[in-house]
Amino acid sequence: MARLIKADICVIGGGSGGLSVAAGASQMGAKTVLVEAGKMGGDCLNFGCVPSKALIAAAKKAACLKDADDFGVTGPLPSVDFPKVMDHVQDVIGSIAPHDSVERFEGLGVEVIQEFGRFVSESEIEAGGVRVKARRFVIATGSRATAPPIPGLEEAGYLTNETIFENRVRPDHLIIIGGGPIGLEMAQAHARLGAKVTVLEAFKAFGRDDPELSAVVLSVLRREGIEIREGVKIANVEKDTTGAYQVTLGEGEQTETLTGSHLLVAAGRKANVEGLNLEAAGVEYSAKGINVDNRLRTSNRKIFAIGDVAGGYQFTHIAGYHAGIVIRNALFRLPAKVDYSAVPWVTFTDPELASTGLNEAAARERYGDKIKVLTFPFADIDRARTERQTEGLIKVITTRNGRILGAGIVGPHAGELIHPWVLAITEKLKIGTMASFIAPYPTYGEISKRVAGSYYTPSLFSARTRTVVKFLSLFG
């Protein structure tokens, strides 16, 4: 007979969101059970954010050596030991893993069950030889890479974000299917480490980002030798007798074939709902994920869903944000609701691309011509000139009376520079607040003050202002 555990809250999934809920709930005094069959830390630690940024960091070191001559520093070109690069990636994962480990969470008072969990009723799950009956459940099972229906792709096999960081052979020619953030980050990293890279995108690369900003990144990537092909149709994929990939593009008589040593698919993700037996719990879901309300409750009000599996933004920081919403709802019975008006996202190419709030197209759709678009280039920031990082710009969208609607940055450290704009939108600040703070000189952060100040330029230096100044001068 299965052992029965009674709990206040049971979390299914040990990724970033699930771990945040489990740690918080247990430390607040709730009897907490965490169920995870795979690796603790989930996708972010093991296959996503952490390893990809570690690889990008290694690639950036190689790129810095290549352009050191611009600073009067000369030396040999970098020699890349690809297996050692991958050792670095695994070392970074290993250094963070203890924070997400079973031992740490058991030390926090969480009962960890390392089995796959499935619902057997509206208030009970089964995990291995254990049954857990809880007052509240949180489903945090995340998502996984999915592949488009390309003939021959499954038979040929391919890399995903879950397997590419296990590859210890530098690709001669890496073909990437998918021109979104993951595909383009991996494209630049591998190119900088010495691989030839071709990116194939069915629609438009960076299709969800502001085209004015994304164009800067795409220009840099192409200049670094990455071939980015947009609007392509992949007719077939197969492996030849040498093990090389043959990717056929086009249709009919208008076809061509690309040959690559490695193939990475980065063309979308799918929520992990299979095997949970959600029907038994009365939880509704679709192909996009589990249906939730603005309090992250499912159709079974005692079950919450957070992170990727909830079918919305697929970012680690959103999973963490969801965790806080659930803690307030599940433990304190507070009607906390999600607010996505200031969601930030960053693509860690070089230059970085960061956004929050509404982009120009979305703002025009909502407000028509009642908006102001402010831009300022990194080329006019002195710190950027000292480091020869002048490519890019900041773009801010406001209403005519100065309420900040959105911001986008393409340039050095964009992921860090977007922070004050997230705060500004969250707190419903006006542009005057961003224009009035004292920015230390010389810093990249000056660009936020400079773009905010440009809101006032037309009126500040207008004929009316000159008339007022001239008039006041008459009084001594």
DSSP string, 224-276: TT-EEEES--EEEEEE-TTS-EEEEEEETTEEEEEEESEEEE-S-EEE--TTS
> Does residue 1 surpass a pLDDT of 70?
no
Query: What's the rounded mean pLDDT across residues 351-362?
Result: 98
Rg (CA), the chain: 25
Would you state the pLDDT for residue 468?
Answer: 87
> Does residue 60 surpass a pLDDT of 70?
yes
Q: Are 414 and 352 in contact (CB under 8 A)?
A: yes
> Does residue 460 surpass a pLDDT of 90?
no
Q: Are 266 and 177 in contact (CB under 8 A)?
A: yes
Is the link from the previous residue into 149 a cis peptide, with omega within 30 of 0?
A: no
- 11 pLDDT band (50/70/90 cuts)? very high
Query: What's the rounded mean pLDDT across residues 234-246?
Result: 96
Counting residues of the chain whose pLDDT is more than 70, the rounded percentage is 100
Give the residues across from 265 on adjacent strands.
177
CA angle at 347 for the pair 345 and 351, rounded to the nearest 5°: 125
Query: Which domains does the chain show, CATH number per domain?
Result: 3-40+101-145+270-330 (3.50.50.60), 153-267 (3.50.50.60), 344-458 (3.30.390.30)
Q: Which residues are annotated as a binding site for NAD(+)?
A: 178-185, 201, 268
Would you state the pLDDT for residue 458?
Answer: 87
Would you state the pLDDT for residue 464?
Answer: 86
Closest residue by Cα to residue 352 from 206, 194, 175: 206
Q: What is the pLDDT of residues 289-332, one digit of tens each?
A: 999 999 999 999 999 999 999 999 999 999 999 999 999 999 99
Q: Which residues are annotated as a binding site for FAD?
A: 53, 117, 141-143, 308
Q: Which residues are annotated as a binding site?
A: 53, 117, 141-143, 178-185, 201, 268, 308
- DSSP H/E element including 34: strand 32-35
Query: What's the rounded mean pLDDT across residues 139-144?
Result: 97
> Does residue 467 surpass a pLDDT of 90?
no
Would you state the pLDDT for residue 459?
Answer: 83
Query: What's the rounded mean pLDDT across residues 265-287?
Result: 96
Would you state the pLDDT for residue 143?
Answer: 96
- DSSP H/E element including 196: strand 196-201
Q: What's the one-letter identity of residue 40? A: M
Would you state the pLDDT for residue 329?
Answer: 97
